Amino acid sequence: MQTENKLFEDFSKVVTSAFGTLAGAGREVHEDARRRAREFVGGADAVERDEFEAVKANAAAAREATELLKAEVAILRAEIAALNAKNAPVA
């Protein structure tokens, strides 16, 4: 009977060790999946909503400024053309 108890005892140790190893492997897989998910999300060049809205507002302001500058340039060109026509020698 002593040998049977030793056999069960050894078997119990092996099973316990195997479950411990499986649990450790499961934790490693879980941590690896979390790490990969963090890397994926972190490397996605995603911006937060408030940052996006700020850049959108800046772009709209830049478009407005560009349109104003285009109008001013057109006015200045017209004035230059008028001055050139005024100062042109009469033939």
**pTM listed for this prediction:** 0.46
Residues 36 and 64 in one domain: no
Residues 55 and 31 in one domain: no
Average pLDDT of the residues in 21-30: 90
Residues 40 and 53 in one domain: no
pLDDT tens, position by position, 33-82: 998 888 887 766 677 889 999 999 999 999 999 999 999 999 999 999 99
CA distance linking residue 75 with residue 32, whole number of Å: 64
CB burial of 23-37 (b: ≥16 within 10 Å; e: otherwise) equals eeeeeeeeeeeeeee
Does 2 have pLDDT greater than 80?
no
Q: What is the pLDDT of residue 81?
A: 94
Residues 6 and 23 in one domain: yes
Residues 68 and 81 in one domain: yes
Domain that holds residue 2: 1-46
Nearest in space to 58 (alpha carbons), one of 68, 46, 66: 66
User: What SS3 class is residue 1?
Assistant: coil
Residues 69 and 56 in one domain: yes
pLDDT tens, position by position, 50-59: 999 999 999 9
